[in-house]
Amino acid sequence: MWIICMFDIPVRTRTEMRKATRFRNLLLDDGFVMKQFSVYIKPVKSLSVGQTITKRLAKFIPDNSMVSFFYITDKQYLMTENYMGKNFTENEEETREKNGQLLLF
């Protein structure tokens, strides 16, 4: 299973920026990888494990924010098609390699 976390967190003030950064850091500390700005992904063993993780993270959602967690299977994730524009310099695989991460699925 994969968890996809998508969010809109306001960042108009310094306080809102700090809260947004804290939430993104929580995702990274929990093993999520940034797919795009405001879109993070993480592989998990099962739906129940994923739901446990998202319930814990939901307690840290900043005020006036919207966060969605999606659960998809490995088979569904493998059907993802990624396209990069002409001047795009970095992709997900290059980012993982640069950070020393391995893709296990």
- Note the CATH architecture for domain 2-79: 2-Layer Sandwich (3.30)
Q: Of the candidates 28, 23, 18, which has an alpha carbon nearest to the alpha carbon of residue 7?
A: 23
pTM score, two decimals? 0.78
| pLDDT digit string, tens, across residues 34-48 | 998 899 999 999 999
- What's the per-residue H, E or C state across 25-46? HHHHHCCCEEEECCEEEEECCC
What residue spans define the domains of the chain?
A: 2-79
Tell me which H or E stretch contains 72: strand 66-72
| pLDDT digit string, tens, across residues 47-103 | 999 999 999 999 999 999 999 999 999 999 999 888 878 877 665 666 666 666 555
Could you say which DSSP state residue 13 is in? S
Distance separating alpha carbons of residues 22 and 47, to the nearest angstrom? 25
Distance separating alpha carbons of residues 99 and 31, to the nearest angstrom? 13
Q: Which pLDDT does position 103 carry in this prediction? A: 54
Q: Which pLDDT does position 83 carry in this prediction? A: 84
